[in-house]
Amino acid sequence: MTGISGIPDGPGRSPAAWLILRHNWVTYILVRLFCRSREQEISFLLYQYFRWLDDRIDDKLTPGKDKISFLAGERRRINDLYARPIVSAPDLPAQIVRYDRRHDNRLKPWIALMFEVFDFDARRAGRVVESRAIVEYSRRLAEAYTRLLVNFIEPRYPYAASDAQLAHACHILHMLRDYEIDLDLGYINIGHDEAARHGFKIGDTTGQGFRHWLDDRLAAIGASINTGLGLDFASGYFRCLSDNTGEPLATMEEARPW
């Protein structure tokens, strides 16, 4: 598949590896440290494929119905590859499925879950949804991400639902950090019920109501990570963010470690 990544190759890194390093350095480090070379290669290719899908869904010039149709076509393509007795095509989805077919299709359900996540994004663009829908969307994304990562690292690991807690908390934080960016793309990362409860209008990022909502979310995320992992620095990190929300979005931007 051409045109997915414009990142040039470099010593010891494929274009897919450069892509994940550029967009998600934490995942890159985890994969480099804990995955065998073949699993590294496939995990980078899978990330490359998902990044391509995500970029297509984020395209503001593409109508929503066309995005939904595009995703449905890609999902049919993946399902068709899994159904074939032999997968010989050289393109990116075929490489991923060919690998998974040799490993008991253990990635298949989590790839399918990622398609549900993309479909939710395509359908929610320009709409204000309920908070519980946003939370469930984030939980599903976190589970798919964690399950895929665990399968690449150690497929025999006895997975527990709490294992996705860190990914879920980090995704919620990223949605807060990217609040204004996502608004521009049509994604509204707050439910209408929460906005009403805190007394501010969607799109208002300067009033006290928005700051109070942001403080609440940051405190909850910090407590979630600290409780789940027992890391004292986590609560301190998020408390620092919460204590400096006079310019909340700017503070989150400054706190980015990349």
Overall pTM > 0.75: yes
Torsion angle defined by CA atoms of residues 167, 168, 173 and 179, in that order, rounded to the nearest 10 degrees: 120
107 located within any domain: yes
Verify that 176 and 73 share a domain, yes or no: no
Q: State the helix-helix crossing angle for 208-229 and 232-243, rounded to 10 degrees.
A: 170
Same domain, 124 and 176: no
d(CA 128, CA 94): 36
In tens, the pLDDT along 82-114 reads 999 888 888 999 999 999 999 999 999 999 999
What confidence score (pLDDT) does residue 204 get? 84
Classify burial at 76, counting beta carbons within 10 Å of its beta carbon; exposed 0-12, middle 13-18, buried 19 or more.
exposed
Based on the fold, state whether residues 124 and 171 are members of the same structural domain: no
Q: What are phi and psi of 123, to 5 degrees?
A: -85, -25
What is the tens place of the pLDDT at every residue in 114-152?
Answer: 999 999 999 999 999 999 999 999 999 999 999 999 999
Same domain, yes or no, for 163 and 256? yes
Q: Number of folded domains in the chain?
A: 2
Measured between alpha carbons, how far is 167 from 142 in angstroms, rounded to an integer?
A: 5
For residues 103 and 43, is the Cβ–Cβ distance under 8 A?
no
Domain that holds residue 185: 158-258
Domain membership flag for residue 5: no
- Kind and range of the H or E element at 45? helix 37-57
Q: 9-18, 191-200, 237-246: lowest mean pLDDT where?
A: 237-246
- Least confident interval from 31-45, 83-97, 126-140, 210-224: 210-224
3-state SS, 149-180, equals HHHHHCCCCCCCHHHHHHHHHHHHHHHHHCHH
